[in-house]
Structure 1
Amino acid sequence: MAPFIPSVLAATPPIASWAQTHSALHPRGEDAGRIADIGWVLYLGAATIFVAVAILVGMAMYGPARVRRLLGRPGLVVAAGVAFPVAVLTALLAYALQAAASMARGPEPALRIEVAGELWWWRVRYRDPSGGLLFETANDIRVPAGVTVEILLTSGNVIHSFWVPSLAGKLDLIPGRVNRLRVLAHEPGVFRGLCAEYCGAQHANMMFELHALAAPRFAEWMEAQRRPAALAQASLRQGEHIFLRDCAQCHTVRGTAAAGTAGPDLTHVGSRPTLGASVLSNNMGALAGWIAGSQHIKPGNRMPAFGHLSGEELRAVAAYLDGLK
């Protein structure tokens, strides 16, 4: 038993750190705070009632005869067994409904983002106030900190569920319907998100990161994302040629002939922190590994493996994609 204790203690700090940034019990957003308040009220209320009932049961079974006779009176049974539960549950229900309704109210959102659930990744579209498309990205959501953002949730395949535990509650993405989720991050930070509804073989690997940025940094990021891909340098032309030959049917790179829509938009893929819906950290080695054998990394995803590429070709494509900042 003794050797086991240091291992547990060594694992505790990372777990605690993860919980503080990716847990509904450590809210970092407005709606997540309300949800946490509802949860604590219900937990404490249930614990109080449980303890009270346990004490009464103990007194009824083992208490003095006078107390047991008192607890057996019909009036007390009706009051404690009917009136009290009805009153308490009604009060808790009213509180929960009022708190939940307040989450639907608030100021007009400063930004609207469309998020579509794919198999098994997230398509993210940023639009201007009139609804025009600004740019598209994947599995990487950036919002300004301190302002309300509305996320429009859709799906073209199966039901998914969008959840960033530290910022808001979960909301389903239902085919043929647009659901609206409001998110307000109090301060800059990186928040883990995931699909909370089983949607197929790689459901557990359908994740994303939501970055809340200070206003100036968010404006810079938006401006950079709106630009088309930079012209490939001479050293990257081979990779660009191979990409246009083998990948343009499914992927878009704005500023080139690649205009496929089946897969993620890769215009600025080199600037994204992860690949494959947060399965891999984004670097040249990971890019090459994903291109050569995505079915080994994330079996069942809709990208075919490109095992026919030579090592030189694979490195050239990975270098080209890594340069799309």
Structure 2
Amino acid sequence: MQKTIETEVAVIGGATAGLAAALTLGRSMRNAIVFDTGSPRNKPAAHAHNLFTRDGTPPAELLRIAREQLVLYPTVQIEQAAITSARAEHGRFTLQADNGHTYHAQRVIIATGVKDELPAIPGVAELWGNKLFHCPYCHGWEVKDLPVALFGNGEMAYEFTRLLYHLNKDLVICTNGPATFTEEQRKSLARRNVTVLEETVEKVEDAPGGILITFSNGTVLHKSAAYIKTNIVYHTELAVQLGCELTEQGGIKVNAQCETSVQGVLAAGDVAGGTPQQVSAAAAGGHLAGAMCNNLLAKEEFEKE
């Protein structure tokens, strides 16, 4: 049976930022609904690292604890549903969900996150988050001083190499085609014995102690792990429907208070442009967005005649 449901705040996204916002809203006695599709960005990762007091905790366990702690706050509920459309109407927001229900909210927090667009190389998706990584702050310690590869090319790969080289001196760059480094960059890499392999990568396979990288010329390379600089796809469809301005990189443009260009709509976590893409940063953004919603609602209520 389809229903129309009223709430003060709709939190779209049930991972770190969304649950942090819900905690702040719950402690402020605000009615909030969190919409969760169960697909956080770090779902493939076995552990979340570089996280204050919780270093090494599995991402799924972090979310389980967060949901468990929300039970204490009766004004917050979690819906296992996706919002399919959103529109602003007379100072409120109407959201349609794939469960068939319609939701009306006074404020909206978008915490829909991002997706890593992986290269179309067989084996990459299967090893992603396990032996193929995107962030040395999240995974670098675990593979420090080991032989690693980097999938990337050009300026992006060169900048990333400068970061990785402090942790891994045995480093190979797999450009998966002709390298686009400048002559100066090539010389810099050569001075540090960083090998550049331009052959096409045919596949990546799991192997004892690491991975096997097979190239089109028959070469097979064994490395302990590899880094991939992925293309980031921001989940901004709902933000665009609501008229929110985006950054040049494609994230939702927000101010220091997590407010978007649309009054009443806030954004937090990875989807907010310019935000460090770390679990702790996402949590901080969620708490701030939740507090800002409460501040705005409290001001409206207090000033109402």
Aligning the two structures, in what range does the TM-score lie when normalised by the shorter sequence?
under 0.3
Higher-RCO chain (CA-CA 8 Å, sequence separation at least 6): 2
TM-score by length of 1: 0.21
Greater strand content:
2
Larger-Rg structure: 1
